[in-house]
Structure 1
Amino acid sequence: MSRIPQTGSPKVFCASGFVTASDEDALPRMLQGNVMEHTDYVRRDIREFLNEIPMGKKQWIVFFACFAAVAIEGFDTIVMAFIAPAVSHEWQLPPAASAPLVALGLVGLLVGSIVGGMMADRVGRRAVGIAALASSEAQSIAQLVLLRFITGLGIGAAMPASSALVAEYSPDRSRSAMLASLFCGFLFGAAAAGFVTSFAIGALGWRGMLALSGALPLCVACLFVWQVPESPLYLVASRKSNAAVQRVVAKLFPTADSSRFRFVIAAPAGSKRGSLALVGKEYRLGTVLTWVAEFSGYLVFFLVGSWLPTHLKQAGLSMHEASQVSSMFQFGALGGSVLFAFLVRRYNVAAVICGAFGAGSLLVVALGMSEATSWHTNVVFLAGLAIGGPLTCVNTIPGIFYPTALRASGGGWTVAIGRLGSIIGSSLIGLIIVSGWSYLLVCALLSIPLLIASACMARMTRVLDAQRRLPSENVEPIGEVSATDGTLPNSAAQ
C-alpha cells in the first residue's frame, strides 16, 4: 500500500478504496481484507506450468486436429500435379499448359501463409471448401486456375496457424518432435493424394478428386471450432485476463488445481514484436539461414514431385503406373519425416537437416542415372526420404528459435518462403518440358540447391548451439497487471 500526503487526516489506499487513518476500526478491517484477497495468488510462469504437467488428452486432440489440417493442405497441394495429365487430356492442352494449375494454387498458399490468421478467419474456414468444390465444376482452364488460387488462400493459412498452436501447446521437452510430427501430416496428405489418385481417378475422374479435396477442409474446420481453444501461452503473451487463461487451463487439465495462480510468461527484456524483428540484429542470421534452406528444399521437392507424374506419362507409363511410381516420392518423404522426427529428439535439429540435404543432393543425381533400371522406383523413394523428410524439420526451427512473441510470425514467414520456393519450382516445370533437357541433366542441376541448403544448416547448427548457452536471467514477465487491478506481485503475495 502507499500513503497519499493530504491535509487533515492522512488517507491510506487499499483494495477497498481510500480510508482515513483516524478510522481505527475500518482501517485494520480493510487492510486485513486486502491481504486476504491477494495472498491466495501466486505468480506462475505458464510455460513452466505446461512443462511440469504430462501431456493431457485435450493437448493430443489439438495436435491431431492440427495434423489433419496440415494433411489436407498436403493433399490439396499435390493432388493437382497428379490430375494435371487428365485435365490436359480432357481439354486437349499441351503438357506445359498444366504448370499454371499447380503454380497459381501455390501462389494462393504463399499469400495465405503470410497473412495466416486473417485468412483463416475471413477465407479459410468457409470459402476454401466452397472454392475447392466449385473448381470441380470449372469449364475452362482460366476458371480452374482462378478457383485453385482462391483455394490456396484458405489452405495456406493452415500450416502457420497449426504450427504455432502445436508449439504453444507442447512442453519444451517434446516441442521439436511434436512439430516434426505435425509436418509429417503435410507429407502424409501428399502421399495420400498420389495413392488415392492412382486408384480412384478412374471412377471419380479429376473433377471427383477436386470435389473430395473441397469436402475435407470443411470437416476439419468444424473439428477446430468444436475442440480447439486458443493457446494459453498466446493468451498470456497477449495480456488477456487471467480469468480467460484459467478457463483454457481448466479445459486442458481438468484435474489440476490452478485457481491460485496468476499466470505470466517470461520474455527477453526489451523483446520486440512483429515481422521486422525477425531480421533484427538478434535473429537476422538464423532467419536468413532458415529461409534459404526452406526455399531451396521446397523448390526441389515440389519440382520433382510435380514434374514426375507428367514425365513418366510422357515416358510411356499409364496414368495408373505414373501415379504409383510418383507417389513413392511422397511416401519416401513421409518415411523420412518420421525418421527425422525421431532423430531431432536426440540431436541438433539443424545438424539432422544438414546431413539429410547432403544425402539428398547425391540421391537426386542417382535418380537421374537410374531412369531405365529396375530399381528406379526404389531411388524415387529414397530421394523423397532425403529431400522431403528434412523439410518437416526446417519448419520446426521457428518454434524453437524465436520467442513466443515472434513464433507465429516467424513460422508464417518461414512457410511463406517455402511457398515461394515451391511456386518457382512448379513454374519451372513448363520450361523443363519445352526445353528438351535430359532427365539426368535436370536431376544434376537440382542437386545444387540441396547443397546450398545443407551448407546453411551446417552454420545454423552453431547458431542454435550458441543460443542454448545464452543466459536466461535477462527476462521480464508478461501478463502482470497493474496495482489498480488489485493483484499484488508474487513477492508481496508470498
Structure 2
Amino acid sequence: MTKLQETLALKPMNAFQIAAIFMCVLLNIVDGFDILVMAFTAQHVSSEWGLSASELGGLFSAGIIGIAIGSMVIAPQADKVGRRTIILLCLVISGIGMTLSSLSESAFQLGALRALTGLGVGGLLTCSNIIASEYASQKWKGLAVTILASGVALGATFGGMLAIVLIENFGWRSVFLFGGISTFVMIPLVVGLLPESLDFLLTRQPKDSLARVNKLARRLDLEQVSLLPQRPTKTSPKPKSLFAGLVEGKWLKTSVCIWLAFFMTMFTFYFVMSWTPKLLATSGLSAKEGITGGLLLSAGGIIGSAAIGLLSARFTIVQVLASFMGLNAVLMFSFAFFSSVSSLAFLIGFFLGFTVYACMGGLYAAVAILYEPGLRATALGFATGIGRAGGILSPLIAGILIDWQFKSQTLFMLYGCAMVLGCIAVLTANRHSHAGSSISSNPSETAANS
C-alpha cells in the first residue's frame, strides 16, 4: 500500500469522496430497477403469453444468467482497463437490453434480452461496489458498500411503485422502456461525474497515470507525488491468471467459503425478490397486493442495507453479517406460516427485505475489504458470478416445485435453510481468513495489517 492509499484510508471523508460514492448509489438504483423489473411485470407477462410457473421461472433466471456472465467475464476486465471504462460499456449493454425488451413478442425473445441486460448489470454491480469501496475511508468502507445495496433496494422500491402506474396506463412493456431510458441517461452522468479509481491508476499505471493520479490527489486533499510506485518486476512471483490468484495458497479456503456464502445468499435472495409478489397473489391476495408485498421487501432493504453498514463501523462486518443471515432464516420460517394473512405478511415481508438486502450488501463489503487492489474486481466478480449460479437455479427450482404442487409455505422454509448454510459458510470463511486480512472495519487494525 502506497502512502497515498494509506492516507486516503485513514483521513476523514471529503465532499469529492462522498460524491463518487453517491454516483455509485445512483448506478445501483438503476440496476435495482433493471434486476427486478421482471418480478413486477411477471403476473401480466404470464397472463398475456399463458406461461407456466416453470416457464416464468426461466424468465427470472435468464436475467440472472446474464448477470453471472457479466460478473465473471466483463467485471474482471476492470482490473485491466479501469473500473470507469467497464461501467460505461455495461450501461450501453444494459440500456440496449432493457429498451429492446419492451418490443419483445415472445417469451424466448424476452428471455434472450433479459440475459443481455444482465450482462451489463453484472459488470455494473461489481465495478460500482469496487469504486465505492476504494474511495471510502477504511472506517466507512462497510457502510459505503452496503449503502450501495440500499441503492438497489431504492431502485426496486420506486420501480415497483412506478410499475403499478405504468402497467395500469400503458401496459407492462412501458416498464421495460422506462428502464432502458433511465439507463441511457446515466451515461453522460458517469462521463462527467464519476472518477477512475485511484487504486487502479496506482496499480496498473495506464497512459498519463501520473497526471491523473495528481489530479485526483488534489480533489482528495492528498499530497501530490513526483513518481508512481514501482510496478512488480518480472522476477516477482505472479499467478498464471487473475483467477489463479484467488485459489492459490492463503486465499483458497477463504475463497471457497465466500463462494458458498454468495451462492446460498443469492439462492435465497432471488427466490424472495422474484417469487414473493406472485406467491402472495396465489395465496389469496390480489395481484396489486402482491406487488405491494414486493415493494415492502424493497423498502425494508433500503433500511437494512444502511443498518448493516452502520453496525460494521463498530463491529467486524462478518459478525454483523452472520447475525443478519441468522435473523433472515428465522423470518423466512415465520413468513411461511403467515403469507396468506395480508397484515402479517406485509409486516414480516418488510423485515424479510430488511435482512436479505443487508446480507447481500454485507457480502459485497466483506469481499471488497478482504482482497488486495490488483485482485479486488476479479475476486468480487467471481464471487458474485458463482453466487449468481444460486440465483439462476433459485427461481427455476421454485417454478418446478410450484408446478409439482408444492405450497408456498414449504418453499419459504426450504429457502430459509439455504440461508442457514450461507451463515455457516461466512463464519467458516472468517475462521480460515489468513492473518492480516481479517474482515474488519477497524481502520487502525486494517492499516496495521497492511
TM-score interval, smaller chain: 0.7 to 0.9
2:42 to 70, 84, 90: 84
**Between the two proteins, what is the percent identity of the paired residues?**
24
Shift of 1:472: 8.3
User: Greater RCO between the two (CA within 8 Å, min separation 6)?
Assistant: 2
Shift of 1:237: 0.8
1:253 to 178, 197, 218: 218
Matched, 1:307 2:275: yes
1:426 to 367, 372, 395: 395
* Equivalent residue, structure 1, for 2:185: 219
* Equivalent residue, structure 2, for 1:276: 244
Deviations 1:326-383 (Å, cap 9, x if unpaired)? 2212222222111111111111111111111111111111101112434221111122
* Equivalent residue, structure 2, for 1:159: 125
Deviations 1:147-195 (Å, cap 9, x if unpaired)? 1111111121101111121222222222122112122212222233323
* Equivalent residue, structure 1, for 2:98: 132
Question: Residue 315 of structure 2: SS of its match in structure 1?
Answer: coil
Aligned length in residues? 431
After TM superposition, the structure 1 = structure 2 runs for residues 329-340 of structure 1, keeping only pairs within 5 Å, are: 329-340=297-308
* Equivalent residue, structure 2, for 1:73: 31
State the alpha-carbon separation in 1 of the partners of residues 137 and 447 from structure 2: 18
State the alpha-carbon separation in 1 of the partners of residues 149 and 446 from structure 2: 31
Shift of 1:46: 2.2
In structure 1, give the amino acid aligned to 2:62.
L
CA distance 1:327–1:452, change in 2 (3 Å): same
Question: Residue 267 of structure 2: SS of its match in structure 1?
Answer: helix
* Unaligned stretches of 5+ residues in structure 2: 79-85, 439-444
* Equivalent residue, structure 2, for 1:233: 199
CA distance 1:260–1:65, change in 2 (3 Å): closer
* Equivalent residue, structure 1, for 2:155: 189
* Equivalent residue, structure 2, for 1:199: 165
> TM-score normalised to the size of structure 1?
0.80
2:26/2:151 contact within 8 Å kept? yes
Matched, 1:45 2:3: yes
Tell me which protein shows more strand as a share of its residues: 1
* Equivalent residue, structure 1, for 2:227: 262
Question: Residue 227 of structure 2: SS of its match in structure 1?
Answer: strand
State the alpha-carbon separation in 1 of the partners of residues 446 and 216 from structure 2: 34
State the alpha-carbon separation in 2 of the partners of residues 88 and 214 from structure 1: 21
Shift of 1:254: 4.2
CA distance 1:44–1:140, change in 2 (3 Å): closer
Matched, 1:343 2:288: no
In structure 1, give the amino acid aligned to 2:5.
R
How big is the alpha-carbon RMSD for the aligned residues of Structure 1 and Structure 2? 2.7
CA distance 1:44–1:423, change in 2 (3 Å): closer
State the alpha-carbon separation in 2 of the partners of residues 224 and 291 from structure 1: 30
CA distance 1:407–1:121, change in 2 (3 Å): closer
* Equivalent residue, structure 1, for 2:423: 454
State the alpha-carbon separation in 2 of the partners of residues 463 and 265 from structure 1: 31
* Equivalent residue, structure 1, for 2:82: none
Name whichever of 85-94 and 279-288 sits farther off. 85-94
* Equivalent residue, structure 1, for 2:142: 176
1:353 to 317, 321, 327: 321
1:101/1:144 contact within 8 Å kept? yes
Tell me which protein shows more helix as a share of its residues: 2
Question: Residue 106 of structure 1: SS of its match in structure 2?
Answer: helix
Question: Residue 22 of structure 2: SS of its match in structure 1?
Answer: helix
Shift of 1:246: 3.8
State the alpha-carbon separation in 1 of the partners of residues 222 and 68 from structure 2: 42
Shift of 1:223: 1.2
* Higher alpha-carbon Rg: 1
* Unaligned stretches of 5+ residues in structure 1: 1-42, 476-494
1:191/1:327 contact within 8 Å kept? yes
Deviations 1:440-466 (Å, cap 9, x if unpaired)? 222221221111111122223334594
